[in-house]
Amino acid sequence: MAVVDAAGAGSQRRSLACVRAWCETNGEFRDFTLSRIAEVEWSREQAEPPQEDVDWNRWITLQVRAHHDLSEGQRKAVERDYAMRSGLLKIKVCKAMEGYLRERLGLVMADGSPALRLLE
């Protein structure tokens, strides 16, 4: 299957409707935003089954805490906001979703640059 990106390279992700699938062009599993798919072409040839999606099947625990530059009061507020235990929040997530979670928590921006310094 070939997918054409309707939004173009470098555009920001805004849609929550995504599908993870094998990308024939890049030879790896990728996340595709459904609203960006303008066209799908099915190959008449039967493709080899893709390898296992290791990042989807591997689970990690992301450990997050209030940023060290925050004042004591700010740190305590962030710890309450995120229901941290002993100043730490542990989140189990599959490796393929780690980047999205980091972005959602404000640890990094969509382009990978540092975000607001509430968490680290």
CB neighbours (10 Å) of residue 34? 10
In the predicted model, is pLDDT for residue 25 greater than 90? no
Report if residue 114 sits inside a domain. no
Contacts with 54 (C-beta within 8 Å, 6 or more apart), sequence order: 95
Report if residue 32 sits inside a domain. yes
Q: What pLDDT was estimated at residue 86?
A: 93
Report if residue 119 sits inside a domain. no
Q: What pLDDT was estimated at residue 35?
A: 86
Band (pLDDT 50/70/90 cuts) for residue 104 is: confident
Report if residue 23 sits inside a domain. yes
Q: Are residues 42 and 28 in the same domain?
A: yes
How many domains does the chain divide into? 2
Q: What pLDDT was estimated at residue 108?
A: 59
Q: Are residues 42 and 60 in the same domain?
A: no
Contacts with 32 (C-beta within 8 Å, 6 or more apart), sequence order: 3, 18, 19, 20, 21, 23
Q: What's the domain range around 93? A: 55-104
Report if residue 110 sits inside a domain. no
Q: Are residues 19 and 59 in the same domain?
A: no
Mean pLDDT along residues 97-109: 80
Q: Are residues 74 and 98 in the same domain?
A: yes
36: left (phi over 0), alpha (psi -120 to 50) or beta: alpha
Predicted TM-score (pTM) above 0.75: no
Report if residue 115 sits inside a domain. no
Q: Are residues 41 and 7 in the same domain?
A: yes
Q: What pLDDT was estimated at residue 101?
A: 87
What tens digit of pLDDT does each residue of 27-86 get?
A: 888 888 888 888 887 777 766 767 789 999 999 998 888 888 889 999 899 899 989 999
Report if residue 16 sits inside a domain. yes
Q: Which residues of 60-97 are buried (b: 16+ CB within 10 A; e: fewer)?
A: eeeebbbeeebeeeebeebbeebebeeeebeeeeeebb
Structural contact between residues 11 and 51, judged by C-beta atoms closer than 8 angstroms? no
Q: Are residues 72 and 45 in the same domain?
A: no
